[in-house]
Amino acid sequence: MADVRTDAAMKAATGAETGTAAAGSLWWDAWHELRRRAVFWLSAAILLLALLMASFPGLFASLGPNEGCRLGLSKQGPGDGAIFGYDLQGCDYWSQIVYGARASILIGIAVTVFALLISIALGLVGGYYGGWIDALIARITDVFFGVPFVLGATVILVAFPGHGMLAMTLVLVVLGWTTMTRLMRAQVIAVRDMDFVTAARMLGAGDARIMFRHILPNAIAPVFVLAMLNVGNVIAGEATLDFLGVGLQYPDVSWGLQLNTARVFFSAHPHLLIFPAVFLTATVLGFLMLGDVVRDALDPKLR
C-alpha cells in the first residue's frame, strides 16, 4: 500500500512539473525559430543601437546636451562642421539627437517594466482567487481603461506643470497597465485549472508557490509579447506629449521636443524635423517588429 501511495505521489509530482518544463521548451523552441528570422536580427540591431545611444551617448557624440551652442549657427543645415546641421539654439544637431534618445527610451522601458509588474501582480491575484477580489480588480481596471491614454496624460500633466522625466513616467504608468492586466488575468484563468496545477495543489503546494512556480511561467508569454509592443507605443506616446508641449520641457532633450520646435521651420529647414523623426520612427518600429516576430515564434500555430 505504501508503494502505491509513493508511486501516485511521484506521478502527481511529475505532472506538476510538466507545465514549467513545457514553458521552458516553448521559450527554447522560440529562440531557435527567432534565429532564422531576418526581421528579428534587423529589429535587434536597431534597438541595440538605440539602447547604446541612450546608455552611452558619449560614444556617439563629442558634445553634451545643449553644449557648445552658437546662435550664429542657428538652423544651419548639414555641413562639414556638423553632419546633421544645427538646431534653433545653434547646438550640434547630431549630439542633440543622440542625447534625445535617453529620455524617450528610458521612459518607454521604465513605464513598461512598472506596468508589467503591476499587471503580473493584479492578474495573478484576480485570476487565481476569483470572487470579489477578481471583481474589484476588474472594475478598477475598467475605470482606468476608459481613460484615453494621450488625452488622460495631457490633462494630468497640464494640471501639474513643472514636471520632469519622473512625473512623465508615473503618469504613463498609471494609464498604461490596464491592457496587460486584462491579458494576464485571462491567461491565469486559462492555466489555473490545468492538471499540473491541480496536482501541485493536491501535493500541498501553497498558493504563492502555485502562482509563481507553476502558473506564471505558463501564462507570461503573451503578456511579455504585449509588453515588448508596449515599449514602442509608450515611446510614441511620450513623443506625442512632448510634441503637444505638455511633456518634457527645455532644457530637457528628447525627440518629441525636437519635433515640436521643428514644425514651424520645416519648409525652410527640413533637417530639423527629418532627423529626429527618422530616429523616433526607427526605434518605435524596432520594438513593434520585435514584438511581432517574438509573438509568431511563441505561437506554434503561426510557425
pLDDT at site 34: 81
User: Exposure of 261 by Cβ count < 10 A (0-12 exposed, 13-18 middle, 19+ buried)?
Assistant: middle
d(CA 141, CA 125): 13
Distances (CA, A) of 243 to 122, 135, 224: 33, 38, 29
Query: Which domains occur in the chain, in start order?
Result: 2-302 (1.10.3720.10)
**Closest residue by Cα to residue 103 from 214, 255, 299, 297:** 255
**What separation, in Å, do the N-terminal and C-terminal C-alpha atoms of the chain show?**
48
Three-state SS for the chain is CHHHHHHHHHHHHHHHHHHHHHHHHHHHHHHHHHCCCHHHHHHHHHHHHHHHHHHCHHHCCCCCCCCCCCHHHCCCCCCCCCCCCECCCCCEHHHHHHHHHHHHHHHHHHHHHHHHHHHHHHHHHHHHHCHHHHHHHHHHHHHHHCCCHHHHHHHHHHHCCCCCHHHHHHHHHHHCCHHHHHHHHHHHHHHHCCHHHHHHHHCCCCHHHHHHHHHHHHHHHHHHHHHHHHHHHHHHHHHHHHHHCCCCCCCCCCHHHHHHHHHHHCCCCCHHHHHHHHHHHHHHHHHHHHHHHHHHHHCHHHC
Give the mean pLDDT per block of 10 residues along the chain (303 residues): 42 50 68 84 93 90 82 77 83 90 91 94 91 91 86 83 80 90 92 84 83 86 89 90 85 88 85 91 92 80 55
Encode burial over 79-117: b for 16+ CB neighbours within 10 A, e otherwise.
eeebebbbbbbbbbbbbbbbbbbbbbbbbbbbbbebbbe
**Closest residue by Cα to residue 207 from 130, 137, 136:** 130
Cβ 68 vs Cβ 91: under 8 Å: yes
pLDDT at site 17: 53
pLDDT at site 13: 44
pLDDT at site 150: 81
